Structure 1
Amino acid sequence: MNMMENKNLLDGVDARTRLAGSNQMEILLFSLGTRETFGINVFKVREVGRTPHITKTPNMPRGVEGLISLRGNVIPVLSLASYLDLEDPPAGLGKTMMVAEYSKRTLGFLVHEVDRIIRVDWEKVKAPESVLAANQGLITAVIELNGGHLVSILDVEQILANAFGEAVIVDIPPARVEEETSVFFVDDSIVARKKITEVLDKLGVKHKHATNGAEAWTRLQAIAAHAQQMGTPLRDEINLILVDAEMPEMDGYVLTKNIKSDARFEGVPVVMHSSLSSEANRAMGKSVGVDAYVAKFDAEVLADTLRPLVER
């Protein structure tokens, strides 16, 4: 099949925008030729089809097979099997390619075959435990399907960091903030949490964090309850909340809806920070009430977005 023949698999994006706030996601299942099943958020996949000719180029990072020309654009192609260190990959591995968009970067992922799209509740998406160590931190979540079959969701941000290096944080001027100014952020990616921390440190604001939406909502409720008990404004403890869109157990859209519907958080801005950088995803964020939407990962843009919201 060619790109256009299999592109129908990914139709219906407009319908999927209604998932915002439903705490559901759609996953495209695929394999790398082993018994394990992997998944990727449909919103990040532009198309799927047979792998075109790949031009080998010198000095490519490990796992980057080369470059292809796709509709006038030259994009890198990565072998996911290489990053997961698969032993004895099957014949024909890499004949199928997924074209994905992450953090305003378009790239191809070589896989064995694509299976189907499934819709799952985020509450069934769990953070990995033993899987994490087994795959060098490249698995960001695990889903258990009916019958006990496991699906591993790849941490593409970590894969991109491994392949192309982490984003360099340039000199960011500190914000004009009071000493107690604090930001609460939540992100399930280790790479993202590290980079967010660097930006906040350079801005000169204190920060707390959580690793998934459910944990964040539990902690935020506890902070709000404490402020209420002490009779102090919540903004004295949290000046801004920064949320990721995709997270195990509760996504950023539901988390934002919860925050915006709780009067205790009135006046506390919510910024969505996501590798889902399309206009459709921005519209989804707006529909649940985010005050700003920032695509990952541009440290300067993130800092420029946060600065006026935390300065007094």
Structure 2
Amino acid sequence: MASVLDSVNQRTQLVGENRLELLLFRLNGPQLYGINVFKVREVLQCPKLTVIPKSDPVVRGVASIRGRTISVMDLALATSRKALEKAGEGFVIITEYNMREQGFLVSAVERIVNLNWEAIHPPPKGTGRDHYLTAVTHLDGQMVEVIDVEKVLAEVSPTSEVISTETLTEQVRISALSKKILIVDDSTVARKQVLRCLQAVGVEVIALNDGRAAYEYLQEMLAAGRSPAEELLMMISDIEMPEMDGYTLTAEVRNDPRLKDLHILLHTSLSGVFNKAMVKKVGADDFLAKFRPDDLVDRVVERIKIADAL
């Protein structure tokens, strides 16, 4: 256990090509769950928690960790399971999502495994709309469920989707009506956030769930004699996705001369450990940390103005 906990911070600095490392943990039973190590700051035995009156029931309390006050959420309770009975016997996974730190209380932390994104698959059909999975994989004959943390955070601490940017003028809205954007994100919540934001601008949106689906969509456009770079204002892609991650998707697009002019914005919740050098290496045009509606709109407006000037 100690070696797992000691190595997390070092491993979060690694960025691979279509690969990821999952930190495996358990909640109330034998089921294994996973979280991308890139999101993890550290793992520690649950410290003393201070209960905050009138807070969401999912928030078990706050803790002072290395001089920072961090909310600790019961991940079992947050995903509609029975709350962990003895918090002090559990572990807290400190993560950073969307420029914010938070802790997730779990019953046990297992180990770190290195996998290829091709081994990570979308949740099985028939799981319904209310599940908290963003992906699944199999390890040693057992299913590992990757939790949609963005959905958990959206329910416990919703992010404002209000657009206040002054760049969204009436002229821009009119011009946006003739523009089309491809968005790619495996998180249902994140995808809907981006979709609503772009619909407010006025552009037409094509939304896909993972990098492989997006790449196949672009190839189908080419096969039909259509030019993605001319038809699409831009592609906005998440980085963490089953089948094919955003880095690999970008690299594949850039390796195809017919797609070289497609504008790519990587839109990620990998804020604190985001590797700018990797973005440049794979050939993305821009990146943006999730979820900042005004900043996203500004990026889209900028693209609209450039397109109109051509």
In the alignment, structure 2 segments of 5+ residues that lack a partner are: none
The structural deviation recorded for 1:136 is 2.8
Correspondence for 1:29 among 24, 28, 43: 24
* Distance in 1 of aligned mates of 2:83 and 2:63: 26
Structure 2 vs 1, CA of residues 162 and 217 (structure 1 numbering), >3 Å: closer, same or farther? same
Structure 2 vs 1, CA of residues 267 and 299 (structure 1 numbering), >3 Å: closer, same or farther? same
- Partner letter of residue 210 of structure 1? L
- Partner letter of residue 218 of structure 1? E
Pairs within 5 Å for 1:1-312: 7-13=5-11, 16-17=14-15, 19=16, 22-87=17-82, 89=84, 95-129=90-124, 132-133=127-128, 136-146=130-140, 148-172=141-165, 173-174=168-169, 175=172, 177=175, 179-228=177-226, 233-278=227-272, 280-311=274-305, 312=308
String of CA shifts for 1:207-259, please: whole Å, max 9, x gaps: 1121111111111111122235xxxx433311201110000111000000011
String of CA shifts for 1:88-138, please: whole Å, max 9, x gaps: 8565676211100001010111011111100111111111126843x9321
* Distance in 2 of aligned mates of 1:28 and 1:169: 34
String of CA shifts for 1:125-160, please: whole Å, max 9, x gaps: 111126843x932111000113x2000001000000
- Partner letter of residue 157 of structure 2? F
Structure 2 vs 1, CA of residues 142 and 178 (structure 1 numbering), >3 Å: closer, same or farther? closer
Q: Is the 8 A contact 1:65 1:78 kept in 2?
A: yes
SS in 2 for 1:106: strand
The structural deviation recorded for 1:260 is 1.0
The structural deviation recorded for 1:206 is 1.3
The structural deviation recorded for 1:293 is 0.7
The structural deviation recorded for 1:7 is 4.1
* Distance in 1 of aligned mates of 2:34 and 2:253: 29
Instruction: Tell me the C-alpha RMSD between the 2 structures.
Output: 2.3
Deviates more, 1:195-204 or 1:211-220: 195-204
- Partner letter of residue 164 of structure 1? S
The runs of 4+ residues in structure 1 deviating greater than 6 Å are none
* Distance in 2 of aligned mates of 1:251 and 1:260: 14
In the alignment, structure 1 segments of 5+ residues that lack a partner are: none
Structure 2 vs 1, CA of residues 109 and 127 (structure 1 numbering), >3 Å: closer, same or farther? same
